[in-house]
Structures are given as structure tokens and as C-alpha cells.
Structure 1
Amino acid sequence: MAWNEPGNNNQDPWGKKRPNNNNDLDDMIKKAGEKIGGIFGGGSGDGKKSDSSKPFIIIGLIVLVAFYVFKGFYTVKEAEKAVITRFGAYDRTVGPGLGWAPFLIDRVYKVDVNTQLKKEISGTILTKDKNIVDVDFTIVYRIDVPEDYLFNVNHQDKTIEQVAEAAIRQTVGQSLIDDVLKDNKTRIMDDTLVEMEKILEPYNMGVEIYEVNMTESKPPIDVRPAFDDVTSSISDKKRYVQEATAYQNDKLPKAEGQAARIINEAEAYKSQVVEKARGEVARFQQLLPEYELAPEVTRKRLYLETVERVLSSVSKVVIDTEGSSNLTYLPLDKIVNKNKSPKSNGGQNNE
């Protein structure tokens, strides 16, 4: 008979009695049941052992509850907002301060809504007049609605970058090369910002675009020398225009002042001549009745007055004697001075 066949009284090949494993397992289950029953105040067994284990279980439960409560506290900084989800669904958005959310039930996402974020975009674009230009842009934006930013769009940074590239290509592609390089950079930056807002509107992404800056715009390196020559000639043109304008601003006021002075002098001379002529007319009108009464006398008197007025301003007189070829010279200045000298000397002698 084999040693493990029925009827061998549970003996091993050496005649010893084997332990009953089934009984050991039953004993272990029984003891565990007694301990569990003792924890909740029931069951049988050793009452002393059950009473001694209760404080440790209660302390453990208190520790677990305290840990659970402590784990739910969170702090939101001044520049942040907290987006809270409950079982994965959006629940609420809270501001800065201390808060509490049930651990493993609520989840807290902290979002910085105050800091301005920057995204740099570079690209090579074909302009409206079929020229190629390399441009560098900087996009400045801020998270405005944190729950929209977190849940409406995936890969937010990549989305901002793609929207900026699309807007830049739209605005630069509709501009001339001169506008992009120097003339209308401000207009292009403003149009790019408006275009980005228009593209982002359907997404409800929860971001606010502050500004769009074109940090650099330049032609491709292969044709850059030609563009530099054009730029240099344009700069020279502007310089010449500025110099001509400065010369104009210097000379024109002087010429206008000189012209105004000449006009004023002419007006004064005109007024003087007109008034003098009016005076002569008035004088002749006063003489007219006398002339009509005695024409010959009046004519002679006018002649003598005229000769007196003329000779009073000359120092030499030449007389042409009628019927003779000789000319008589009268040095009036010397005669006058000679006549004055004896009088002055006589006055001194009398003194």
C-alpha cells in the first residue's frame, strides 16, 4: 500500500504522523474573524486582546482622517487663479488665498493669470509685390480665462504659435516689401494683432493678446547687398530733402522779410509822393486866382522862387552871357565863406 493512500492514518513513508494543514488554515481564519469582531465590539474570543487593540485602531483612523483633511488644503498665490475639477469635470475657479478641496475627489490646477507671456516667431514670407523677406515677431499675451485656457484647447503654446504664424503670413503677404522693411511696420503689427484676435475668437482659448512687435525685417541674405544699396540711396534722398528743406527754411524767411521791407518802402514812397503831389495841387489851386488876376507877375514870381530854391543847394554857378562866347563862373561857396569871415573876425576884434 502506498504511504499516501487512504487508510494509512495520515502517516508519512517513515511512519510518522503528518500535520493537518487544513486544520491550521481553519484556525487562522477563525482567529482573524475573532479580531475583526473584537474591533467592532462583537465576536468571541479573548476579550482582553480585543480591548487592547481598539486604541491603536482608533488612533490610526484619526491619523488617516487628519492626513486626508490636511492633504486637501491648497494655497493660491496673488498672481494665480485655481481651476478645480470634481471627478474630472470642471467645477469652479477660485482666486488667491487658502482653500480646501477633497483629496482624490477634487483636483486643483493653478494658473498664472498676471504674468505676460512671450512667443517669438520667425519666418520667410512672400510679399504682395513678389519679394521674399525674413521677419521676426514677438507675441506678448496673458491668460485671461484660466478654465478656457486649460480645457478648450490642447497644446496651448503650439496653438498660439500656429495662430501667430498664420496671422503674420496673412498681413505680410498683403504688404509691399518697402512697407515691411521700413515704411509701415506699425500698421503691419496692428493688423497682425487684429488678425490673431479674429482667428482665436472661435476657439474660446481664454488668452488676451497684448501686443505684436516686429523685432526685425530683412531681405534674404543672397539679395541683401542690393537691398542695402536701395536703402542707402533712399537714406541719401531723405538727407538731401532735409538739407534742401533746411536751406529753404533759412533763405525763404529772409527773402520774404526783404520783400516785405521793399514793399513797405515802396508804399511809404508812394504815400510821400502822392501827399506831396496833393500838396502841390492844393498850392497851385491857391495860386490860380492870383495867376488869373496877374499872370505875368505870378509867372515871374514862381520862376524866381524856383531859381532860388535850386541855387540854394549848389555851390557853383556858370552864367552864359547872351551874345558872347564867354562863360562866367561864380564860386558861390567861396564868396559866401569870404563874406562870413570878416564878420566873424570883426566880432572877435570888437570883443
Structure 2
Amino acid sequence: MERVDRPKVEEIKRIEIGFRTIYPGPPARYRPILEESLMLTGDENIVDCWAIVQYRIKDASAYLFNVKDVEQTLKDACEVALRQVVGNHTIDDVMIAARFKVEEETRQVLQRIMDGYESGVLITAVKLQEVQPPEQVRDAFDNVVRAKEDKDKIINQAKGYYEDVIPKARGKAERLIAEAEAYREQRIKRAEGDAGKFLLVLREYRKAKSLTEKRLYLETMEQILPGIQKYIVGTEKSGLLNILQMKQNLTTLPKAVKGEEK
């Protein structure tokens, strides 16, 4: 009798890299495989990397006859692909920043390797599970991560302060400049107006000096006389001595005037 192998081509299979599932749970329990999981990053840091590879059969004939042990071959090839990709990235990329990129690059490298073996396998996904520093240096690494987070926080706070203060300072400076320009224009116009008035008076003065002097005198008196106390003394000679009661009003005079009287 002959045996007929009918592989399940639609079934999604999986292999584990860096760990093995002891009990699916819940809660699940795992056993680490350090010889598979410890890898060197591009910035020369060691990471403990667990991954799951999902695949299915795309060519049953090639799957059955071209490779003796497909699962072991796939596991070994995945280690090679994952180490290669991790070695091209920094630890921050592998752990956080470019995690999805690392997964996709690993899938592509692994697919090329398995196609080279004509294994009949299609890699559907590579999923990183745990990526962290080795347990021996984990505390030190966590301290470094926290320090970086604090640094980023301080930088963001400084940027926020800068974005808050600088626009206000610029706005205040622009307002002061605008006010100074307005004051400058006002003074210029006032000076031009005063100069124009002076030139006008000068022209009139040159035309009629005595008349202009008298008009200016009268205009000046008109401005200052309403604010002071006035005494009117006749000019006719009567033979009498004019006595003005000015002492009683000295208290209302400015201090400088009182001093002059003494």
C-alpha cells in the first residue's frame, strides 16, 4: 500500500523564535531559549528578542519533496533573517521606533531564503513579541530610558515656553515700534505745523513789524492775564500816593515770588 500525504494548504502554521510555549493558559507560560533570542543591534546593544513566524503552504509538491524538515529549516532561516535585520537597526528602532519596519524586513528576508530552497512556503507574517534588554542589565537600561524620557520632556517644555513667550515678546516689540513710529509722526507733524505757523508770522512781521509785534503782545496777554490777579492804577497825576493791599494776597503767590519779595 502507498501513503498519500495531503498537506493543509490553507492552514496558517506558526513557529516560535526565542521562546517556547509551555502552557497556552490562561495564564500562558513560556520558556526562554536564550541561544535563539539574544541578538546584537546595529548600535552594539544586546537585546532579548522573541518572535512568532506565521506561514502557510503555497506549493504542496515543493513543500513535501524539496525540503526534508521544513519547520526546522524555517526556524533556522528565521533566526538568520531576524539577526540580520536587527543588526541593521538601533536598539530604539527594534524596541519602539521602527518595530513594524523590523518585522516587515524580516519577513521579506525570510521569504527570499525559503524561496531559494524552493520550499513551497509563503511567509504571511513575522511578529515581534518581547524585545527588551537582557535581564542582567534591564534595570540600568530602564534608567537610561527614563533619563531620555525626562530629557525629551524638558525639551518639549522648553519648546512650549519658547513658543509661548517669543510670540508675545515679538508682539510687544512690534506694538512698541508702532507706537514709537506713531509718536514720531505726531511730533514731526506738530513740528512742521509750528514751523509753518512761525514762518507765517515771520512773513507778516516782515510786512508790518510794529503791527505784528503789538498783535503778538496782545495775544500773549490774552492768554496769561485771565489766570492772574490784576491791579489797575490810573496814569493821571493826582498828587496822591497809591497804596495797594498786596500783603494779604502774598499767601496765594508761588514760593519763588515770596522769596523774591524778601
Q: TM-score range by the shorter chain?
A: 0.5 to 0.7
Q: TM-score, normalised by structure 1?
A: 0.51
Compared with structure 1, are the counterparts of its residues 131 and 106 closer, same or farther at alpha carbon in structure 2 (3 Å cutoff)? closer
Larger radius of gyration: 1
| Structure 2 counterpart of 1:249, one-letter code | E
Compared with structure 1, are the counterparts of its residues 302 and 250 closer, same or farther at alpha carbon in structure 2 (3 Å cutoff)? farther
Q: Could you tell me which of 67, 74, 96 is aligned with 1:160?
A: 74
Deviation of residue 230 (structure 1)? 1.1
Deviation of residue 275 (structure 1)? 3.0
- The aligned residue for residue 175 of structure 2 is 261
- The aligned residue for residue 121 of structure 1 is 17
Query: What secondary structure does 2:176 align onto?
Result: helix
Q: Could you tell me which of 131, 139, 157 is aligned with 1:217?
A: 131
Between the aligned partners of 2:137 and 2:198, the Cα distance in structure 1 is 89
Query: What secondary structure does 1:109 align onto?
Result: coil
Between the aligned partners of 2:98 and 2:79, the Cα distance in structure 1 is 19
Between the aligned partners of 2:99 and 2:214, the Cα distance in structure 1 is 90
Query: What secondary structure does 1:111 align onto?
Result: coil
- The aligned residue for residue 294 of structure 1 is 208
Deviation of residue 231 (structure 1)? 1.4
Compared with structure 1, are the counterparts of its residues 107 and 138 closer, same or farther at alpha carbon in structure 2 (3 Å cutoff)? closer
Structure 2 stretches of 5 or more lacking a match? 19-36, 229-251
- The aligned residue for residue 161 of structure 2 is 247
| Structure 1 counterpart of 2:16, one-letter code | E
Q: Could you tell me which of 180, 187, 192 is aligned with 1:273?
A: 187
Q: TM-score, normalised by structure 2?
A: 0.65
Instruction: Output aligned runs, 1:1-351, within 5 Å.
Output: 109=6, 111-113=8-10, 116-122=12-18, 123-295=37-209, 298=212, 318=254, 325-326=260-261
Query: What secondary structure does 2:147 align onto?
Result: helix
Compared with structure 1, are the counterparts of its residues 224 and 317 closer, same or farther at alpha carbon in structure 2 (3 Å cutoff)? same
CA offsets 1:2-51 (integer angstroms, 9 cap, x no match): xxxxxxxxxxxxxxxxxxxxxxxxxxxxxxxxxxxxxxxxxxxxxxxxxx
Between the aligned partners of 1:310 and 1:257, the Cα distance in structure 2 is 45
- Higher RCO by CA contacts (8 Å cutoff, separation 6 or greater): 2
| Structure 1 counterpart of 2:204, one-letter code | E
Compared with structure 1, are the counterparts of its residues 206 and 291 closer, same or farther at alpha carbon in structure 2 (3 Å cutoff)? farther
Name the % identity. Answer: 36
| Structure 2 counterpart of 1:254, one-letter code | K
Structure 1 stretches of 5 or more lacking a match? 1-103, 328-351
Between the aligned partners of 2:192 and 2:4, the Cα distance in structure 1 is 108
Which protein has the bigger strand share? 1
